[in-house]
Amino acid sequence: MNNSIGKYSGCHDIGREQAANKPLLKTVFQVMMRLFSPRKTTLLFVIRDKTRTPLENLEPVLREDIQKIWDAVPKPHAYKETPLSEFFNVEVVALSSYEEKEEQFREQVASLRQRFFHSIAPGGLAGDRRAVVPASGFSFSAQQIWKIIKENKDLDLPAHKVMVATVRCEEIANEKFSSFIENEEWRQLEQTVQSQPVRGFGRKLSSILDVCLSEYDAEATYFDEGVRSSKRKQLEEKLLQLVQPTHQFMLGHIRSGTLDRFKKAFDNALNEGKGFAVAARDCIKYFMSQFDEESADTDIDLANWDASKVREKLRRDIDAHVATVRAAKLSELTTKYEAKLNEALSGPVEALLDGASDDTWPAIRKLLRRETETAVAEFAGSCKRSVEAKAKEDAGRVLIRMKDRFSTLFSHDSDSMPRVWTGKEDIRAITKTARSCSLKLLSVMAAIRLDDDADAIENTLSLALVDPKAASSTNKGTSVDPLASSTWKEIPASKTLITPVQCKSLWRQFKAETEYTVTQAIAAQEASRRNNNWLPPPWAIVALVVLGFNEFMTLLRNPLYLGVIFVAFLLIKALWVQLDIAGEFRNGALPGILSISTKLLPTIMNLLRKLAEEGQRPAQTDPQRNPPLATPSFQSGTNNYSGISSSASSEVTTENGTKQSNPPEDQ
């Protein structure tokens, strides 16, 4: 409501950002443009403690700063090109120093006071007074201005205690963050971690963080709770962001140390004569658990950091080392047996060749066969252990393989093409086939079968899991579950990969996880059947027969209706074929209706045109021939209609647009 706004600042503050209150002036410009239409408000800048610098030199600098602020302020579209002078009338006044020139200061203040007293006089401070209202309307005008200010939430100022709490809590948080950076204990811990792991890292770091946050809580305890909590959370995030690289360094030390210890222990186990697969499995299990324990020691109470990525990298490094050692051992074994064969064959072969006779090469072949069998027998044991280790490893992923096989067989046909559930497929049979193949995979992975001995694992699983009714009818006298055991018949425990009890549990989990796929297929099939079912329900057909009896009798009494209906049927049949209605509705009811509606009128016009051409054809082929006399008989009329309709229908429904109508016969 004021026509003037005063701004009081020191002479030395001109040109400064905060001291000159430039952000405040920017806010004033934005609010005035957003809330009010252009009207001249006087901006009076009072400069105190005037120095020897003339006002004529200070005023251009001040006006230039004001213009820059105005240009930088985001403006509404309506005021994009509006100059500053449309909203504000800028005036600058300088006051002398009160302490140095008290009398002159008082005179200048008195003069400025008179300008405010007589602000509406010519040359006063009231601006152009375009928004002046009469005194009788001042109350309503003030209410409307206050309403605008209340509705604009951007002008809301927080409570005083909230403002104080925001400033002080932020200052306290910055102080505590700086003190944490300078904390000697933290700096020593950070420096030590750069070169070596630190035992009890998580506990020590959590203690330092807790001390820092408790100091913040102690100093900020009397401020607003919401502001205090918000600033504390920001402080926690900054502290965690600061210490996270050190935590990652610590995890890196643990990973590298665990990998080195694994390599040493693995090599020692192999040197002691332990089997390769057993040594690898035991060492991996032990040192991965060691990594989990040591990484848990680095956990910080405030953070919820996950060491899974570092753990995965450690496992990849361990697997790569095991693969390298395996390749080296295989190469070593190959070289060893080649040397043995060379040593076993070189001397005897040389001796046999020296005493050359008719039996020399048969003797060499016999020697070669005997030494080869010996080497293969020794090498076979190592190969057998490798196969068993690989089988035990894959047995742990049997459920994933079963689900993959079921998905492949269930979702693809015999040509490996994705199935489209149209309603004609036998989902029950497809599901049974896919599950049987998955059960076959389970039976194969249940035990190691390097010998030729037969077993009944597949039959047992099939009877117990796929066809339990057949199993119960076969074993009428007993009610014992064949899978309620930890061993297979005729299979030693050392060769068992998956026990019967585990097979039953795996099958139950497999069925639960594949049930959704079957349910989705059934739903898709039902939806396809509903879309392709054109017949009404049986009760509607019965209702049509009963309720249409009178219409049926009417047709019998008036045969002309039959001819009309027959002609209509031919036209509708021709429309049906031309529009391909069954094909249009295959993608849904709404798309089919929209497509047919766009093609219906052109198709009807095409049929009528072709009917007209068919009716004019006899006159064009034989213009000299007199047309036959029309007879009033119903039969003749019916024949004529049927002939024209049949001809038009046959002409419209032929493929590739070929006309196949027959000329009408002479009556």
Q: What is the mean pLDDT of the chain?
A: 76
> pLDDT confidence of 137, banded at 50, 70, 90?
low
Looking at the fold, whether 14 and 133 belong to one and the same domain comes out as yes
Helix (H/G/I), strand (E/B), else coil: 412: strand
pLDDT at residue 1 is higher than 50: no
Cross-strand partners of 42: 4, 89
Q: Which of 73-82, 156-165, 429-438 has the weakest average pLDDT?
A: 156-165
541 within domain boundaries: no
pLDDT at residue 434 is higher than 80: yes
Choose from 56-70, 466-480, 560-574 the range with maximum mean pLDDT. Answer: 560-574
Q: Quick one: tokens of 300? A: 């910080």
Q: Which of 532, 564, 587 is the last residue of a domain?
A: 532
CA–CA separation, 8 and 364 (whole Å): 117
Query: Where is pLDDT greater, at 438 or 126?
Result: 438
pLDDT of residue 518: 92
Looking at the fold, whether 287 and 320 belong to one and the same domain comes out as yes
Looking at the fold, whether 13 and 127 belong to one and the same domain comes out as yes
pLDDT of residue 354: 62
pLDDT of residue 161: 67
pLDDT of residue 39: 63
Looking at the fold, whether 601 and 465 belong to one and the same domain comes out as no
Q: Quick one: tokens of 585? A: 């509705």
> pLDDT confidence of 129, banded at 50, 70, 90?
low
Q: Which of 92-96, 213-217, 308-312 has the weakest average pLDDT?
A: 92-96
Q: Which of 262, 296, 326 is the last residue of a domain?
A: 326
Cβ atoms of 255 and 291 within 8 Å: the answer is: yes
pLDDT at residue 119 is higher than 80: no
Which range marks the domain in which residue 128 is found?
A: 4-155
> pLDDT confidence of 640, banded at 50, 70, 90?
very low
CA–CA separation, 559 and 31 (whole Å): 88
283 within domain boundaries: yes
Looking at the fold, whether 218 and 316 belong to one and the same domain comes out as yes
pLDDT of residue 356: 65
Task: Please compute the mean of the pLDDT values over residues 406-423 and round it to a whole number.
Answer: 87
329-386 per-position pLDDT tens digit: 888 878 877 777 777 777 777 676 666 666 777 777 787 788 777 777 766 666 666 6
Query: Where is pLDDT greater, at 456 or 340?
Result: 456
Looking at the fold, whether 528 and 554 belong to one and the same domain comes out as no
CA–CA separation, 13 and 17 (whole Å): 9
> pLDDT confidence of 22, banded at 50, 70, 90?
low
CA–CA separation, 571 and 605 (whole Å): 12
**CATH code (residue 36):** 3.40.50
Q: How many angstroms separate the Cα of 115 from the Cα of each of 92, 121, 324, 662?
A: 13, 9, 95, 112
Q: Quick one: tokens of 420? A: 């489209």
385 within domain boundaries: no
375 within domain boundaries: no
Cβ atoms of 69 and 22 within 8 Å: the answer is: yes
> pLDDT confidence of 467, banded at 50, 70, 90?
confident
CA–CA separation, 93 and 109 (whole Å): 10
pLDDT of residue 52: 73
Query: Where is pLDDT greater, at 153 or 263?
Result: 263
Type of residue numbered 613: E
> pLDDT confidence of 533, banded at 50, 70, 90?
low
355 within domain boundaries: no
Cβ atoms of 330 and 379 within 8 Å: the answer is: no
Q: Quick one: tokens of 441? A: 């995979």
Q: Quick one: tokens of 248? A: 């990652």
Looking at the fold, whether 310 and 168 belong to one and the same domain comes out as yes
The total number of structural domains that make up the chain:
4
pLDDT at residue 650 is higher than 50: no
Q: Quick one: tokens of 476? A: 């009428």
pLDDT at residue 405 is higher than 70: yes
State the number of CA atoms in the 13 A half-sphere of 594 facing the CB. Answer: 5
Query: Where is pLDDT greater, at 446 or 368?
Result: 446
pLDDT at residue 503 is higher than 80: yes
pLDDT of residue 261: 92
pLDDT of residue 257: 92
Type of residue numbered 64: E
130 within domain boundaries: yes
Task: Please compute the mean of the pLDDT values over residues 535-542 and round it to a whole number.
Answer: 78
pLDDT of residue 649: 39
> pLDDT confidence of 454, banded at 50, 70, 90?
confident
Looking at the fold, whether 464 and 559 belong to one and the same domain comes out as no
Cβ atoms of 333 and 379 within 8 Å: the answer is: yes
Choose from 108-117, 281-290, 564-573 the range with maximum mean pLDDT. Answer: 281-290
Write the DSSP assignment of 285-346 as a string of letters.
Answer: HHHHHHHHHHHHTT--SS-----HHHHHHHHHHHHHHHHHHHHHHHHHHHHHHHHHHHHHHH
Looking at the fold, whether 200 and 70 belong to one and the same domain comes out as no
499 within domain boundaries: yes
Task: Tokens 């020593």: give the residue.
Answer: 188
pLDDT at residue 20 is higher than 70: no
190 within domain boundaries: yes
Choose from 237-241, 305-309, 602-606 the range with maximum mean pLDDT. Answer: 237-241
Looking at the fold, whether 307 and 448 belong to one and the same domain comes out as no
Q: How many angstroms separate the Cα of 199 from the Cα of each of 296, 300, 519?
A: 11, 14, 54
Q: Express as a percent the part of the chain with pLDDT over 90.
A: 15
CA–CA separation, 547 and 569 (whole Å): 21
Q: Which of 155, 174, 194 is the last residue of a domain?
A: 155
Q: How many angstroms separate the Cα of 524 from the Cα of each of 413, 517, 530, 542, 588?
A: 16, 11, 10, 30, 13
| DSSP-derived secondary structure letter, 447 | B
Looking at the fold, whether 187 and 105 belong to one and the same domain comes out as no
Closest by CA position to 171, among listed 226, 220, 229, 213: 220
Looking at the fold, whether 167 and 83 belong to one and the same domain comes out as no
pLDDT at residue 658 is higher than 70: no
pLDDT of residue 406: 92
pLDDT of residue 630: 38
State the number of CA atoms in the 13 A half-sphere of 632 facing the CB. Answer: 0
Q: Express as a percent the part of the chain with pLDDT over 70.
A: 75
CB atoms within 10 A of CB 419: 14
pLDDT of residue 13: 57
584-627 per-position pLDDT tens digit: 777 777 777 888 888 888 888 887 888 788 777 655 444 444 44
